[in-house]
Amino acid sequence: MAPAKMRAAKKEESARLIWQRRPSMLARLGFLCYFALIVDASLYPFTGWSDNGIGAFDYLFAPWPPHALEFDIVVNLLGYLPLGLLGVAALYPTIRSGLAAVLVALGAGLASLLLEAAQSFIPTRVASKVDLITNFAGALAGVAIGLVVTEALLDRGRLRAWRLIWFEREASAALVVSLLWFGAVLYPESYAIGCGALIAPLAKQWSSIAALETRLAEAWGSSAQMFERVDAIVSGCYLAAALLLFVDAARSAAPRLWLMAAFVVLTLFAKTMGAGLTYAPSEPFIWITPGAIYGLSGAVVLAALALPLRPGLKRALAALLLVIALALANFGPTNVYFDAVSRSWERGRLLNFYGIALGLSLAWPFIALGLALSRRSRQRQAARRRTRMQE
């Protein structure tokens, strides 16, 4: 090998090793998002705050409950386990081993202590030291797992190898947004995939929004055919935008069609599971309407046709689709049948996670739109860095 090529190869290898030792942006973004979900689940429904004469930390000295629900204990353990694991991964490699374990465990314990205290002021929630203990135990279990697997996953594991082979190095934000998508579609909406519908919740707080909602309903009428068409457009635009943002993060040599197929299958699974868990288990497929079938099929075709486009054009198309879907999801016709049926459904034992699903459903389109409209292309930045390294 010529000396110049050898120097270039060594420089590229050195740059690769330095990049591998960097903190994982995916782990840090994932930790922040998951912590936000923990806060959302702990403080939902965020209304009715009042001082009922009980101290915020009185629950620590309350008598031990005669019996604790096994379901709640399991949910608390499993809910805080990923927080501990992601916390260790987010600190790596800046802080490792024992110090990382102590910081994450203490942080999770303090967060649980304060969130339980805040529940003392929400009439529909009950602060409990059982929850505090099980939350802390779940976080400790996550920390223990994180100490074992973090280095292998982030430095030399098979998962990291796949991540480097299939996705761009600067794709962390896009991957986090794609993961949040599966949580956003859990919440059943009037449309098959109706994320970002702010009009209905805002109408409960402001009379002017309620009046607007009424006028929109009168303007659209109750035509089932019209709703089916809008349902197809909204559902199709959202899925196509999510697919485009996900595929935009993949390398050109990656099996993009297979990745798209997996993304669609996971979307269908999450939507069906959400309909079953959040509401009635006997009606998990109620969301599959003719409009949904047409819209989701069209989304797959559109995303496949857009594969050859440049990254910037794919993001611009995703942004346009998100704007269209957001406008129709908020100002489009309502499904009277859905509203009637949803009032008779029960949210079951996952009431707290109903708030998580609702929050993700409302926030995801705006998060995704911010990613799509970002001025700087992560891929272009990476390409420029690689070019400078080779010079």
pLDDT tens, position by position, 116-147: 999 888 887 888 888 899 999 999 999 999 88
pLDDT at 222 over 80: no
pLDDT at 19 over 50: no
Angstrom CA distances, 54 to 50, 98, 147, stand at: 10, 38, 39
In 3-state terms, what secondary structure has residue 205?
A: coil
The mean per-residue pLDDT over the stretch 147-164 comes to 73
Confidence band, pLDDT 50/70/90 cuts, at residue 319: very high
Q: By C-alpha distance, which of 122, 119, 185 is closest to 358?
A: 185
Structure letter (DSSP) for residue 348: G
Structure letter (DSSP) for residue 156: I
The mean per-residue pLDDT over the stretch 57-72 comes to 77
In whole angstroms, give the CA distance from residue 168 to residue 254.
Answer: 10
What's the pLDDT score for residue 280? 56
In the numeric block, which tokens belong to residue 154? 């982030």
Task: Quote the distance between the C-alpha of residue 187 and its chain's center.
Answer: 12
Residue type, 71: F
Structure letter (DSSP) for residue 64: P
Query: pLDDT by residue (tens digit) across 193-203?
Result: 888 888 877 77
Cβ-Cβ contacts under 8 Å for 110 (sequence gap 6 or more): none
Cβ-Cβ contacts under 8 Å for 308 (sequence gap 6 or more): none
In whole angstroms, give the CA distance from residue 43 to residue 46.
Answer: 6
- The CB-side HSE value for 255 (13 A sphere, CA atoms) comes to 6
Q: By C-alpha distance, which of 111, 125, 147, 140 is closest to 50?
A: 125
In the numeric block, which tokens belong to residue 117? 């205290």
Residue tagged 């991540």 (tokens): 163
Cβ-Cβ contacts under 8 Å for 305 (sequence gap 6 or more): none
Which range is most confident: 107-121, 141-155, 336-350?
Answer: 107-121
Please tell me the pTM assigned to this model.
Answer: 0.72
Cβ-Cβ contacts under 8 Å for 299 (sequence gap 6 or more): 235, 236, 237, 238, 239, 240, 243
Residue tagged 């386990």 (tokens): 81
Residue type, 237: C
Alpha helices in the chain (DSSP H): 3-20, 25-43, 70-91, 97-119, 129-151, 158-166, 172-184, 199-203, 207-220, 224-248, 256-278, 290-305, 311-331, 336-344, 351-372, 378-390
In 3-state terms, what secondary structure has residue 186?
A: coil
In the numeric block, which tokens belong to residue 227? 């709703």
Q: By C-alpha distance, which of 193, 239, 208, 206 is closest to 332?
A: 193
In whole angstroms, give the CA distance from residue 103 to residue 375.
Answer: 35
Structure letter (DSSP) for residue 309: S
Instruction: Return phi, psi of residue 265, to 5°.
Output: -60, -45
What's the pLDDT score for residue 350? 53
In whole angstroms, give the CA distance from residue 219 to residue 227.
Answer: 13
Tell me what percent of the residues of the chain surpass a pLDDT of 70.
79
What's the pLDDT score for residue 149? 81
